[in-house]
Amino acid sequence: IITGGASGIGEAISKIFHQEGSNICVIDNNKNKLENFEKSIDSKDDVLTFSFDVSDENSWKDCIKEVLNTWGKIDVLVNNAGMSLRSNFEEMKKEDWDKVFAVNSTAVMLGTQNVIANMKKNRSGSIINVSSIFGLVGSARSSTAYHASKGSSRIFTKTIAAQYGKHNIRSNSIHPGFTDTPMTEDIHSIEQVRNERLAMTPMGRLGKPEDIAYGALYLASDESSWVTGSELVID
């Protein structure tokens, strides 16, 4: 299950998991992107798509019910859907803070809560939360709620790792650096911002969605079977 799986990093994760032979359930609240995703993938009965807002609890319940009716079990959940609202901290409205937290933090909890019983039953599961380098350090820039919500997802990841290791369920976070996706298209097209970000990136180029997706593939696979509570920084 990949949330925000129809665009950017999530789309790359969905496609790489599918190429590697997984049945994939792709959730995205953007219907157009989801339709384009469906068209772009050669699928038979190995792809399910759902359009809903991941901060909606009831939609999660319906989705998981259908996935379990179709495939019987859930191996991997990637909480990737995310959003950012940029404003000066002093002008930021509480409702904007709440919106960002609903998607970047509360929805990560909801997704996890909805798959955990099945993973416990199977004695197997990998939960992968796409946080950010801004879940590790603060930033002088304007997305205060984004940075705080990504920090929340990081510690939530470790709490689940500590609680569910005994059930053979792993939980890890990924911390992407500046990656070219539809989310960052606007700011990365400003030459000054792009150059600033390039100057902070040792490899001398910004990330591609696939750079992050291969990290998710590792964390989803049995090759990472002793890896939990970790922070995979890909920047």
Site of interaction with ligand NAI (CB under 6 A): 3-4, 6-10, 27-30, 33, 53-55, 80-83, 103, 130, 132, 176, 178-179, 181-184
For residue 225, the tally of other CB atoms under 10 A from its CB is 11
State the minimum distance, in angstroms, from the CB of residue 3 to ligand NAI.
6
CA distance 154 to 151: 5
Nearer to ligand NAI, 43 or 201 (CB): 201
State the minimum distance, in angstroms, from the CB of residue 114 to ligand NAI.
14
CA distance 146 to 143: 5
CA distance 124 to 80: 20
State the minimum distance, in angstroms, from the CB of residue 14 to ligand NAI.
10
Residue 233 phi, psi dihedral angles, 5° rounding: -85, 125
Per-residue 3-state assignment (H helix, E strand, C coil) for 94-148: HHHHHHHHHHHHHHHHHHHHHHHHHHHHHCCEEEEEECCHHHCCCCCCCCHHHHH
CA distance 136 to 64: 31
Nearer to ligand NAI, 13 or 160 (CB): 13
User: Catalytic: 164?
Assistant: no
State the minimum distance, in angstroms, from the CB of residue 142 to ligand NAI.
15
Nearer to ligand NAI, 21 or 199 (CB): 199
Nearer to ligand NAI, 84 or 124 (CB): 84
From the list 146, 164, 214, 218, the catalytic residue is 146
List, by residue number, the catalytic residues. Answer: 146
